[in-house]
Structure 1
Amino acid sequence: MNAYISTDLNMVKELDPQRHELALKMEEFENHGGVVQKIPVGRGLFSPMTFNSETIAPSTMTMHAKKRDLSVKLRKSPKAVASEAEIAEKLRAYHEKGVVAAARELHISTRRANHIAAQYGIKFACRVSLAARQEDLALVPQIRALIIEGLTQDQMCARLHIGRTTLKRVAGQNGLKFRSQADHSKDLVLVERIKAIRDIGCTRAACARQLDINPKVLLRLIAEYEIDFPVRTPGAA
């Protein structure tokens, strides 16, 4: 530590009477039962600063005193308790559907639903339950139709009254892929051209070659837009 120390002996000696007087007062204070406490010095509680080229850490005692006592819990109001009890009774009906369905239909967050369920000993079935799978499978044709219609994900959620997480999960598990508005417009143009080429008697392979697209893209469009394009053998009547 680089501390400044006066080299002037006369200046040091001039303070001797004051130091002697202070020592006498401390001795008298301690003789009367007084206790001298040493208080750590810090420049800030959470932002220690450099003092005389030495970094002074925050006072440990002060930091411990600032910590919140986690053993003290705030008591809920009777109205809040009654509200949670009412929600708990409704949550019991969602054992098979799961917490996501419960939160969606009761207009509460899944975090709050889980919190109340834990307090009242309510357990939800996981998403692999039969009821949950049936609920997901019922959404598949609806999501597929909305993808073909060209709706955005937000529009699909609003139409189906589901969240974005549910929409992506069901789509991902069932091989449904979302497309942008630009891709949807391109698909519509291709669908019209596919129908026109079909009507002149071309095969699927010839259609893919004329449109310069991958045969898998052709098959996807035929399936998604339910195009009546039977498989023909070249040269068949």
Structure 2
Amino acid sequence: MNYISNDLNMVKALDPDRHALALKMEAFLSKGGTIEVIGICRSLFSPIPFNSEVFSGSPNVAQPKRDLSAKIKKSAKGEAEEAAIAEKLKAYHDKGVVAAAKDLHISTRRANHIAAQYGIKFACRVSLAARQEDLALVPQIRALIIEGLTQDQMCARLHIGRTTLKRVAGQNGLKFRSQADHSKDLVLVERIKAIRDIGCTRAACARQLDINPKVLLRLIAEHEIDFPVRTPGVA
């Protein structure tokens, strides 16, 4: 086996052999011979020469380009599995890729990849069916916010993902509150009812509780407090 040595004495000892080889190459080329330069590549998928080196003979040889056409073929089992998933994805045309990925226990990236392979297109979330589905969630999410559930608990109760929960809430003006804020709201609700019962107006109630009138209106609406608007001067 030939190898490259770092020993200077050994390198010098090979000088006669290198000289003889150079003479043979010169004689070969003078007779019309050609020398093919082959790049030293890592693999089929990454044909980049080690240290940008090639076999000696032509220092200006262009570097080989990466072969992007080489692909790993799926196994028969893998193809059958994707075909089965593709059949199931067809039923989610109106529901969308997020719902499909959740129900089939796969990532949305894989669901989109398989759908593209089999020509399956999902309906946009602005479609009528998708919008109606979202609107049906609005009162349920609002009720759970008032109940004081966390986002994870809401998702478990409604059987939806957090992405869907945040999207529907954001599009319909619903705001999530922490457990601490929810507890404060419950205390305010009880005080609002007590102040209402002694005959105070809404404006007086907001002043007495030192809260913004908009906060008072929100609590009245969310907790369905019977606090009628009183007209000044009317008994």
Q: TM-score, normalised by structure 1?
A: 0.75
Q: Distance in 2 between matches of 1:195 and 1:20?
A: 104
Residues 22-62 of structure 1 show CA distances to partners (whole Å, capped at 9, x for unaligned) of: 6742444325649698x9xxxxxxxxxxxxxxxxxx42669
**For residues 123-143 of structure 1, what are the alpha-carbon distances to aligned partners after superposition, in whole Å with 9 as ceiling and x for unaligned?**
111000111001101111111
Give 1:146 deviation, angstroms: 1.0
**Matches of 1:203 and 1:20, distance apart in 2:** 108
Listed as ranges, the matches of 1:49-198 within 5 Å are: 58-59=51-52, 69-198=67-196
The 1:61/1:212 distance shift into structure 2, 3 A limit, reads farther
CA deviations over 1:148-172 (Å, ceiling 9, x no partner):
1111112211221211111111001
Q: Does 1:30 align with 2:25?
A: yes
* Matched AA of 1:169: R
Q: How many residues of Structure 1 are paired with residues of Structure 2 in the alignment?
A: 202
Q: Which runs of 5+ in 1 are unaligned?
A: 1-16, 40-57
Q: How far off its partner does 1:18 sit?
A: 7.9
Q: CA RMSD in A?
A: 3.0
Equivalent residue for 2:8? none
Would the alpha carbon gap of residues 210 and 73 (structure 1) be closer, same or farther in structure 2, given more than 3 Å must change? same
Please, what TM-score do these two structures have when normalized by structure 2?
Answer: 0.76
**Which stretch of structure 1 is more off in the superposition, 209-218 or 92-101?**
92-101
Contact 1:203–1:234, Cα closer than 8 Å, also in 2 = no
Identity %: 79
CA distance in 2, matches of 1:140, 1:153: 14
Distance 2:85 2:150 in 1: 33
Q: Which moved more, 1:184-193 or 1:225-234?
A: 225-234
Partner of 1:204: 202
